[in-house]
Amino acid sequence: MIQTENLTKRFGDILAVDRLTLSVEAGEVFGFLGPNGAGKTTTIRLLTALISPTSGHATVAGCEVGLEDGKIRRQVGILTESPGLYDRLSAERNLAFFARLYEVEDVDGQVERYLRMLGLWDRRHEEAGIFSRGMRQKLAIARALLHEPQVLFLDEPTSSLDPEAARLVREFIVGLKREGRTIFICTHNLDEADRLCDRIAVVNTRLLALDTPSALRRQLYERTVVFHLREAEPRFIRRLQTLSFVRSVREMDNKLVVALDDPEKHNPVIIRSLVEAGADIQFVGELRRTLEDVYLRLVGSEDGKSNQR
Amino acid sequence: MNKTWIIVRKDWAEVFKNRFVLFTVAFLPLILTALPLIILYATRSTSDLEGFSSADMPAGFAALCNEMSGGECVQYFIVSQFMLLFMLIPMAIPVTIASYSIVGEKTTRTLEPVLATPVTTFELLAGKALAAAIPAVVVTWLGFAVFAVGTRVLSLSPNVTARLLDPLWLMAIFIVGPLLAVAAVSVTVMVSSRANDPRVAEQLSMLVIMPLLAAFFGQITGLFFINQTLILWMAVGLVVVDSGLLALATHIFQRETILTRWK
């Protein structure tokens, strides 16, 4: 649905997007993460045909960016970083204006459909300027969907929302995913990206990593299993160190932290070995690295390289 | 529906909810139409004007009076002074509307979602320009109609009204007026691209009326008098100036420029 090849954007001397190559499948929820100034919004603007690339190519819904911009704009919906609503116009009139610009056939029907879907129908005659942040964000999401786009670009969809409003927006995105829409999300909320996205790209002007959240964890961190013991003794550690598949083992507050390649296969062996050695195992669990760990490691190492350069 | 017209309707719906804009659009034509009529009313008695002859008028103006009586010539002189002020309307109103509409879109960040739709930048610019220019031109023409009727009622004779409907005035109102509105909109687009406060944009864009005010004071002090040749040259000059200003405004009003350079 989205393909980019060496997509590059320069603003004078500033390199905003550097040779970005990626592909997003139809129906996929794709997370786009990176620090401020990493080129996330610029990439969205490139892919929504708002600005032209300096070099490289991109296609969205089969249309070439820079050559078929009008077609692209008809097939994509965008939630901009700021909701960008006409404060003096009613919610209904805001949507009707955009529906007409998108050449929606049944303007009234579509406006009603999305106002109802997002719980704003009863307040349709009120000016958008008096809406809460959550309501404004919902109205902006409705605006992005009025023309039933194949691809939806969401730039920070839950930023500056309270937890309840953020949850509502996330649930709505999950609903859109179920409908099979392709969704491209820029976010700083790593937990949100972890929960919503099928795959994630981490960028800092250039692409640093791209994979599923779990694969990114595996790429950067070995899998780690924690064995909670009644009392950890040095001989238990020595015993585990004799096992060839154990990559490392350390003790921490009566817990043995063991690095393994394949916990599903080797956990039973370790448990048997510890029990034979006299250990009382209370609990076994995998130490899950968060997406935040992955992100900070990727972006941190990139920053380190930049500083060295 | 044509996208330019969709933008025009949206702009009107939004900008006319602003009391300041509404006040400017209503008040300026009202005062500039009412003022000459009040003066005519005050001088409508023949006795007030008896004893005046064309020879009492500035020499350049007396030639324009032809067969008019002294009193008629005085009244024509009075209403003539307001011709240039009348042309302030198609300049001031678009500046106010366009400042609030364009800078308003910048400050509420509504331009990006609009630019993400299939609307072309030409349609958007045309929509913004027409939303600002149409009310100005319509109000100018309406004001002129009221002015002409009022002059007919309050002047000494139909001769004064007939002068208002001669090609000089008609060209000034129906050709130069819209051309001035185009110039005002173009300047406001350029100023608005750099301003973040509609009031600042409005005040800076209002500088566009300076040449008109200079002409007004030139006429009042008798340096020159507006005649058909001058109006014709004004129209030709404005066509040239408008072409240049429109080209500049269109250059500034490009998607990428708006999104990346308009701060």
Domain coordinates in residue numbering, chain B: 3-260
Indicate which CATH number applies to the domain containing A275: 3.30.70.100
B260 close to A (CB below 8 A): yes
The answer on pLDDT for A307 being more than 60 is no
- For residue A204, the surrounding DSSP H or E stretch is strand A199-204
Please give the share of chain B, as a percent, with pLDDT higher than 70. Answer: 91
Please give the share of chain A, as a percent, with pLDDT higher than 90. Answer: 36
CB < 8 Å to B19, chain A: none
A260 and A188 in a common domain: no
Strands A255-260 and A223-229: antiparallel
Distance in angstroms (rounded) separating the CA atoms of residues B68 and B58: 15
The answer on pLDDT for B1 being more than 70 is no
- How confident is the model at residue B59, as a pLDDT? 67
Q: For residue B108, what is the nearest residue in chain A, using CA coordinates?
A: A84
List pLDDT tens digits, range A72-113: 999 999 998 888 899 999 999 999 999 999 999 999 999 999
Q: For residue B123, what is the nearest residue in chain A, using CA coordinates?
A: A101
- Position A263 in a domain: yes
Contact A97 B10 (CB under 8 A): yes
> Are A99 and A147 in contact, with CB atoms under 8 Å apart?
yes
CA distances from A200 to A1, A48, B10 (A): 16, 19, 39
Residue A244 burial (C-beta neighbours within 10 Å; 0-12, 13-18, 19+): exposed
List pLDDT tens digits, range B194-223: 777 778 878 888 888 888 888 888 877 777
B1 close to A (CB below 8 A): yes
- How confident is the model at residue B217, as a pLDDT? 82
Please, which pLDDT band fits residue B247 given cuts at 50, 70 and 90? confident
- Position A309 in a domain: no
The answer on pLDDT for A118 being more than 80 is yes
Query: Which of A45, A52, A80 is opposite residue B113, by nearest beta carbon?
Result: A80
- Position A293 in a domain: no
A178 and A38 in a common domain: yes
| Mean pLDDT, chain A, whole residue set | 87
Mean pLDDT of A20-29: 91
Give the CA-trace dihedral at B230, B232, B235, B237, to 10 degrees: -60
Indicate which CATH number applies to the domain containing A85: 3.40.50.300
- Position A96 in a domain: yes
Work out how many domains chain A is built from and give that number.
2
Contact A86 B111 (CB under 8 A): no
A211 and A269 in a common domain: no
Contact A80 B114 (CB under 8 A): no
Mutation site, B8, B101, B108, B256, interface A, largest A CB count within 10 A: B108
| Mean pLDDT, chain B, whole residue set | 83
Distance in angstroms (rounded) separating the CA atoms of residues A89 and B11: 10
B123 close to A (CB below 8 A): no
A103 close to B (CB below 8 A): yes
CB < 8 Å to B120, chain A: 70
- How confident is the model at residue A192, as a pLDDT? 83
Mean pLDDT of B118-142: 89
Please, which pLDDT band fits residue A306 given cuts at 50, 70 and 90? low
Please give the share of chain A, as a percent, with pLDDT higher than 70. Answer: 95
Distance in angstroms (rounded) separating the CA atoms of residues B143 and A202: 62
> Are B29 and B89 in contact, with CB atoms under 8 Å apart?
yes
This complex has an ipTM of: 0.81
- Position A300 in a domain: no
A241 and A152 in a common domain: no
- Position A39 in a domain: yes
DSSP-assigned beta bridge partners for residue A256: A227, A251
- Among the candidates A191, A217, A243, a domain finishes at A217
Please, which pLDDT band fits residue A220 given cuts at 50, 70 and 90? low
Contact A82 B109 (CB under 8 A): yes
A250 and A212 in a common domain: no
Contact A140 B6 (CB under 8 A): no
A164 and A40 in a common domain: yes
Chain B: closest CA distance from residue A24 (Å):
20
Contact B116 A140 (CB under 8 A): no
DSSP state letter for A83: -
Dihedral over Cα of A64, A65, A66, A68: its sign: positive
Q: Name, of A279-283, B67-71, B208-212, the range with top average pLDDT.
A: A279-283
Mean pLDDT of A48-53: 91
- Position A117 in a domain: yes
Please, which pLDDT band fits residue A245 given cuts at 50, 70 and 90? confident
Helix %, strand %, coil % for chain B, to 5? 80, 0, 20
Q: For residue A44, what is the nearest residue in chain B, using CA coordinates?
A: B116
- How confident is the model at residue A36, as a pLDDT? 84
The answer on pLDDT for A308 being more than 60 is no
Query: Which of B14, B112, B114 is opposite residue A89, by nearest beta carbon?
Result: B14
A269 and A211 in a common domain: no
A126 and A168 in a common domain: yes
- How confident is the model at residue A295, as a pLDDT? 73
Contacts of B21 (CB under 8 A, 6+ apart): B15, B96, B97, B100
Dihedral over Cα of A276, A282, A284, A290: its sign: negative
Distance in angstroms (rounded) separating the CA atoms of residues B215 and B82: 12
List pLDDT tens digits, range A176-191: 888 888 999 998 777 8
Contact B255 A93 (CB under 8 A): no
Give the CA-trace dihedral at A205, A210, A213, A219, to 10 degrees: -110
Which residue type sits at A262? Answer: D
> Are A295 and A202 in contact, with CB atoms under 8 Å apart?
yes
List pLDDT tens digits, range B3-59: 999 999 999 998 888 888 888 888 888 888 888 888 888 877 666 666 666 667 776
A110 and A235 in a common domain: no
B116 close to A (CB below 8 A): yes
Domain span at A241:
223-287
B121 close to A (CB below 8 A): no
> Are A228 and A306 in contact, with CB atoms under 8 Å apart?
no
- Among the candidates A202, A217, A232, a domain finishes at A217
A94 and A211 in a common domain: yes
A276 and A139 in a common domain: no
- Position A301 in a domain: no
Strands A223-229 and A281-287: antiparallel
A234 and A183 in a common domain: no
- How confident is the model at residue B54, as a pLDDT? 65
The answer on pLDDT for A304 being more than 70 is no
**CA–centroid distance for B205 within its chain:** 13
